[in-house]
Structure 1
Amino acid sequence: MINQFETERILARPIREEELPTFLNVIRSNRFFLQVSGGSPDYPLSKLEKDWKEANENPGECMLGLFEKETETPTGILTYLKHNPRDGFPWIGFLIFRRDLHGQGLGREVTEHFLDLTCRRLGWTSIHLGFLKVEMKELFNLPENHAGERVVWVMERELASPH
């Protein structure tokens, strides 16, 4: 598993238990994430603690805190599964950033670097998140104002050969 890496602007490492309240603020700042995940603005710390504990206990799952490299200020969260039992593929569970950091290219920076690492270090040849449409699923918890859509696409991206 990849449990630490750095990009040009971001340091990714495991979240320590005492940092969870700060990362809760990261989640609460992202209104769209809260809507599509069925959460509310008062997303409970207990849910984040449960997810964090599960990620730490499951050897095939990882939750990484994303920090501004120079200040180590929490900026986001990346979770991934080595093998999703539903379809057998590696998955990025979610990648979320503080709302005030959207539009700065951090998602692309982290994603591209992480995908390169998974290909080179883990030998992954594809990963599911947001790339090539491979499956359609209907979601019932999307908000009405989500452009009227209640369908999401499971996406896959092929990675370069690790050779």
Structure 2
Amino acid sequence: MIDQFETERILARPIRENELPAFLDVIRSNRFFLQVTEGCPDYPLSKLEKDWKEANENPDECMLGLFEKKTETAAGILTYLKRNPRDGFPWIGFLIFRRDLHGQGLGREVTEHFLDLARRRFGWTSVRLGVLLGNHPAQAAWTRLGFRKVEMKELFNLPEDHAGERVVWVMERELISG
């Protein structure tokens, strides 16, 4: 697994359980994202704890905390699957930054560094991710990072109380060796 790395401004490493509240604040700072994904501007700590535990129990999944190097404060979260059992592709599951850090190029910095590591360490030749239809800012950001829309899919197995969107664009990026 790629369980830690550094870029110019970010340190990525596994999140410790006592750090989950700080990363909950990262998620909650993105009210538009929460409205699209959850259907409301809230995200309970119990949901983050559940996702964190599942990531730690699955040998093909990893959840990394992204920390600002200068201040060592929680800046974002990156999750990935080495191989999605549904389609056999590697997937970026989640990449989010604190709202006040948007527009500073951190998404590009982390994504490019991580994908280069994954290509070299795992031999990835492409990677996929899903973006909800209503999340136009994320679609634009991933497109700028070289991802292209390959198919539209409806999400299944969501909790009964899920009020967010249910249809995603599957986006894919080819990884060039070199």
Give the aligned residue type for 2:126. S
1:96 is displaced (CA, Å) by: 0.2
Give the aligned residue type for 1:132. R
Cα distance in 1 between the residues matched to 2:172 and 2:8:
25
User: For residue 101 of structure 1, what is the aligned residue in structure 2?
Assistant: 101
Query: Which of 138, 156, 164 pairs up with 1:141?
Result: 164
**Structure 2 unmatched ranges of 5 or more:** 130-141, 156-162
Cα distance in 1 between the residues matched to 2:8 and 2:84:
29
User: For residue 147 of structure 1, what is the aligned residue in structure 2?
Assistant: none
Check the 8 A contact 2:66/2:77 in 1, yes or no.
yes
Cα distance in 2 between the residues matched to 1:13 and 1:54:
17
**Structure 1 unmatched ranges of 5 or more:** 143-149
Cα distance in 1 between the residues matched to 2:170 and 2:30:
21
User: For residue 69 of structure 1, what is the aligned residue in structure 2?
Assistant: 69
Cα distance in 2 between the residues matched to 1:102 and 1:135:
27
Tell me the TM-score normalized by structure 2.
0.81
Cα distance in 2 between the residues matched to 1:136 and 1:81:
20
1:91-130, aligned counterparts within 5 Å?
A: 91-129=91-129, 130=142
User: For residue 173 of structure 2, what is the aligned residue in structure 1?
Assistant: 157
The structure 1 segments of at least 4 consecutive aligned residues displaced by more than 6 Å after TM superposition are: none
Q: Which moved more, 1:33-42 or 1:88-97?
A: 33-42
Q: What SS does the aligned partner of 1:11 have?
A: strand
Cα distance in 2 between the residues matched to 1:117 and 1:103:
24
Give the aligned residue type for 1:13. R
Tell me the TM-score normalized by structure 1.
0.89
Q: What SS does the aligned partner of 1:37 have?
A: helix
Cα distance in 1 between the residues matched to 2:61 and 2:42:
26
